[in-house]
Structure 1
Amino acid sequence: MSNEILYKLSVIIPVYNIEEYIERCVESVLAQDYPNFEVILVDDGSQDNSGKLCDLLSEKYSLVRVIHKPNGGQSEARNIGIEDAKGDYIIFIDGDDFIDQYMFSDLMKYCNTDKYDLVGCHHKDDYDGKIINSNRQVIDFDSNGIEALKLLLEGKLIPGTACAKIIKKSLLSNIRFPVGKTYEDVYFTTEILLNVKIAHFTTKAYYHYWHRSNSTTTEKYSEKSWDIIDAYKFSYDRIMEIAPQLKKQILFRLYWAHFVVLDRMLMSEYESDLEKRNCLVKYLKRNFGNIIKCNYFSRGRKILAMALMINLTFYKLLLSRGLKKRAVNK
């Protein structure tokens, strides 16, 4: 056992106005039984007490160090963490989330074989302590990067988040998060998986994804909502360049992204930009045939697509009813 390789893991945690959660996050990391890791807290110009709490944690624990920077967004904070990381592998954890105690030891045992570029797990959706999807059947499997990207796009077995994935640092030599964009994980995971030779995944959920009402993933319509379409357009271009066999899967996500923006626009009663709304409607109507044939869309979503072909008012009526029943989440 004395000759066992124990590669160092750099834990990068962006911090912005999360004074209620950051201590819980860091404590969950420090409770890990894996012996070789560091914690990098990147305070992204927090306006509450988050920065001070980061300093206190750094003073208290030798494994923790802090970088303070002007506010530039999560992508910039993560990128700075990558530059500062001393580890052989990197993991990103959002500062309002937390992890189970044996996550690092259970996942790093695969990294320590020198076989894998990436090792990933699943997450639990945590709504103020109420955990959703916690009874998932545990499946462990190896995959090349392109097959993993296929599963991710299909919504099977592999979550799309950049978190809950341990990544070999050498893989990140030319890959960074896009600054100034939301849905940055789409860009990042696309690039990473297109460059992964072999990865290991488990559907066991070690990562607690904490849902807050004001997080960017639950926001109502804004101009930033269009970033999700930009993100999947980027993915489409990269996939068609390197892995065109995934065309069906990335088109599904591109259609889905247009539905997301249209739904947010309609549910937010946003009527000030009819031209943009009409562009979304025309795009979805133009691709109606492909949407109906796509096996990845739910029956509820296909019914909505048919309603849209009739008129937008009918679509909005069914959408509002469907959202109340949580029937058209896909």
Structure 2
Amino acid sequence: MNNKLSIIITVYNLEKYIDKTLDSIISQMTEAYNLEILVINDGSTDNSADKIELYTKKYAYIKLINKINGGVCSARNLGIKKATGNYILFLDGDDIIANHFLENFFFKRLNIDLMIGSRIIKNKNTTQEIILTDNIYTVNQFLSDMLKQRINFWNIGGYLISREIILENNLEFNENLESAEDLEFFINVIKCVEQVKTTSNLFFYYLNLREDSISLTFSEKKINDQIIVCKDNINYLDTLELDNSFFVDKYIHIVNEAKNIRDLSRIQKIINDNKIVPRKIGIKRKIHLYLIYFLGVKNYLYLKRMKKEK
């Protein structure tokens, strides 16, 4: 049976960017490809919906689904419910699909539930290429390899997943999360598959350039979400007896991002409720965790600031 691909694109006030996202897919499309593009408009207040509507009139495989604003997780979950393909790719409305992505997908007979692709991440001042090898791993092998290389392997847009796996295991994005929802979802997916395929083929460009991008801003709620998801993943990796230093470093980094939060007592409570006791970590990480837990977040951040000013 020929594969059908559902690309689920979530949009909220992205009128300046959605054209490039859709054009990057349309430019690769041929009649031979069995594709649907589901654009979930999450209550945009700009002209995003009008722009997308023009595409739906021109291309039958593009569908616009409007909903009341409820966040990116609710938008992706709606996309899952509406999708009909046997594989799903999630995108944000300002991502760009790589050249030849569709060709690489449709000319391969996929018989695996999860495939991770290479990607390019563009920030304001840096560009990072994450090029994977062509390989098939067990879950433990995959996680071990990615953690050793310190790769953010869970980026939305960076993987293809079997819709059957999602439906059979009732997988969905956690609508209570404002941040780290992509990591939590990916780890839940990983727990449901036996093998992971990686490919050197480029999947997409992740453009982290917008001033209003939620990934560039921190709030008490986002710090809370990231700490909880990070702690859960550290505990999960401990059960697999894998090196969790990558996520311990992320945990410490999240604490450091609290420096711009006005009420640190609330951050302290979040930390107190989500302490981690990693199985194996180096002395430097132990010192950081000791300072955070026993001096408190406020004093820890003060020491960090004093050290930086010296």
Q: Shorter-chain-normalised TM-score: which range?
A: 0.7 to 0.9
Partners of 1:11 and 1:252 in 2: how far apart? 30
Long gaps (5+) in structure 2:
none
Aligned residues: 299
The answer (yes or no) to whether the contact 1:137–1:203 under 8 Å persists in 2 is yes
**CA displacement at 1:132 relative to structure 2:** 1.0
For the aligned residue pairs, the C-alpha RMSD in angstroms reads 3.2
Could you tell me which residue of structure 1 aligns to residue 141 of structure 2? 147
Is residue 2:191 matched to residue 1:200?
no
Is residue 2:306 matched to residue 1:317?
yes
TM-score normalised by length of structure 1: 0.78
Long gaps (5+) in structure 1:
294-298, 322-330
* Secondary structure, aligned partner of 2:176: coil
Among 83, 91, 94, the residue aligned to 1:93: 91
Could you tell me which residue of structure 2 aligns to residue 326 of structure 1? none
Is residue 2:100 matched to residue 1:118?
no
Partners of 2:307 and 2:287 in 1: how far apart? 9
The answer (yes or no) to whether the contact 2:118–2:132 under 8 Å persists in 1 is no
Partners of 2:119 and 2:234 in 1: how far apart? 26
Q: C-alpha deviations, 1:95-141, integer Å up to 9, x for none?
A: 1111112112224444x242x1111212211246x76124x665211
**CA displacement at 1:87 relative to structure 2:** 0.7
* Secondary structure, aligned partner of 1:71: coil
The answer (yes or no) to whether the contact 2:140–2:240 under 8 Å persists in 1 is no
Could you tell me which residue of structure 2 aligns to residue 324 of structure 1? none
Partners of 2:184 and 2:151 in 1: how far apart? 19
Kindly provide the amino acid, as one letter, of the partner of residue 117 in structure 1: D
**1:256-271 superposed matches below 5 A:** 256-266=249-259, 268=260, 270-271=261-262
* Secondary structure, aligned partner of 1:195: coil
**CA displacement at 1:32 relative to structure 2:** 2.1
TM-score normalised by length of structure 2: 0.83
Is residue 2:14 matched to residue 1:18?
yes
Q: C-alpha deviations, 1:147-199, integer Å up to 9, x for none?
A: 32344445545622132211111010111111131211111110111111222
Distance 1:279 1:61, change over 3 A: closer
Partners of 1:105 and 1:96 in 2: how far apart? 21
Among 180, 183, 200, the residue aligned to 1:183: 180
Could you tell me which residue of structure 1 aligns to residue 160 of structure 2? 166
User: Alignment identity in percent?
Assistant: 23
Is residue 2:60 matched to residue 1:70?
no
* Secondary structure, aligned partner of 1:316: helix
Distance 1:271 1:33, change over 3 A: closer
Could you tell me which residue of structure 1 aligns to residue 240 of structure 2? 245
**CA displacement at 1:200 relative to structure 2:** 1.4
**CA displacement at 1:6 relative to structure 2:** 3.0
Partners of 1:137 and 1:247 in 2: how far apart? 22
- Name whichever of 142-151 and 5-14 sits farther off: 142-151
Among 95, 102, 123, the residue aligned to 1:104: 102
